[in-house]
Amino acid sequence: MTLPIEALKVTQNSTEMMWLLHDRAMKADGNILEVGTHVGSSALVFMNAMSLSNSDHMLVTVDPWGMKPYPSSRSKYGDDNQRDAIASLAVAARQFHTKWHHFKMTSLEFLKWADGKHAWYGGKQIPYQWGLAFLDGEHVFDTVHEEIMRVLPNLLPHGGILVDNANHQQPNGISMKVALAEVAIRNELSFNVHGFENDSMVVEMRKL
Ligand SMILES: C[S@@+](CC[C@H](N)C(=O)[O-])C[C@H]1O[C@@H](n2cnc3c(N)ncnc32)[C@H](O)[C@@H]1O
């Protein structure tokens, strides 16, 4: 198995983390939701994994781009990111036959809209329900918490949520990881922490 070389060329993520995403996407028994697309590197990894596992599910990506202020860092995510992502993901979706579509809006705008709705593929309705959700957008606890609470009702049994940048310190001094552990306990989710060679951290929560 390989990771798509295009993804590795443009990603800021560690290769180990890309392997985690790849592994969980291979095992996902349902649609994949990605919050925070940037130039499309993690979405390419998802497409690659879905193709290798002959997945019949959809990949839904969500990112407003457009220089939306990014509260947890000084990074700016501009319009060229959108062009790069849409261009490479459209080519890859064609190549991998991925059922992929993108929503150019914030995660919460999308999740509020998508609840109870469906997409159309091959003449069939596919509900916006998730086998895997990768939350890599705003990295502010209140936003991530609301994302989780809006994903959970549509998370399939044994479905997983991966939260990137879980090592981010929040303004109140509490780490994202600790705050997420409390969310996991309150919602009866399993909780795992994955650390990577560049000190980044992904929290994994799963419906028991
Ligand atoms: C760290 S990058 C994502 C990297 C990407 N997942 C990857 O691994 O290649 C963060 C992205 O989140 C987007 N973003 C920021 N706030 C967001 C929100 N509220 N909802 C969705 N995406 C958001 C930014 O525009 C940016 O492109």
Q: The domain spanning residue 178 has which CATH number? A: 3.40.50.150
CA 37 – ligand 1 centroid, Å: 5
> What does the alpha-carbon distance between residue 185 and residue 126 come to, in Å, rounded to a whole number?
30
Please give the Cα distance from 7 to 56 (Å, whole number): 22
Percent of the residues in the chain that have a pLDDT greater than 90, as a whole number:
76
Beta-strand relationship, 189-195 and 201-207 = antiparallel
Quote the tokens at residue 21.
Answer: 């995403």
Say if strands 124-127 and 118-121 run parallel, antiparallel, or are unpaired. antiparallel
CA distance 134 to 165: 11
The mean per-residue pLDDT over the stretch 176-180 comes to: 94
Nearest Cα residue to atom 7 of ligand 1: 42
What number does the ligand 1 atom closest to the CA of 138 have?
16
Domain count of the chain? 1
Rounded Cα gap, residues 15 and 81, in angstroms: 20
204 lines ligand 1 (CB under 6 A): no
- The pLDDT, as a whole number, for residue 115 is 97
Task: Name the closest-CA residue to atom 5, ligand 1.
Answer: 37
Residue range of the domain that includes 137: 5-207
Structure tokens at 59: 């990949």
pTM here is: 0.94
For 187-203, how does the pLDDT look when each residue is reduced to its tens digit (9 = 90+)? 999 999 999 988 889 99
Give the pLDDT confidence score for residue 76 in this predicted structure: 66
With a cut of 90, say whether residue 10 has pLDDT above it. no
Q: Where are the alpha helices (DSSP H) in the chain?
A: 5-10, 15-27, 41-52, 79-96, 107-114, 141-151, 176-186
pLDDT band at 59 (very low <50, low <70, confident <90, very high): very high
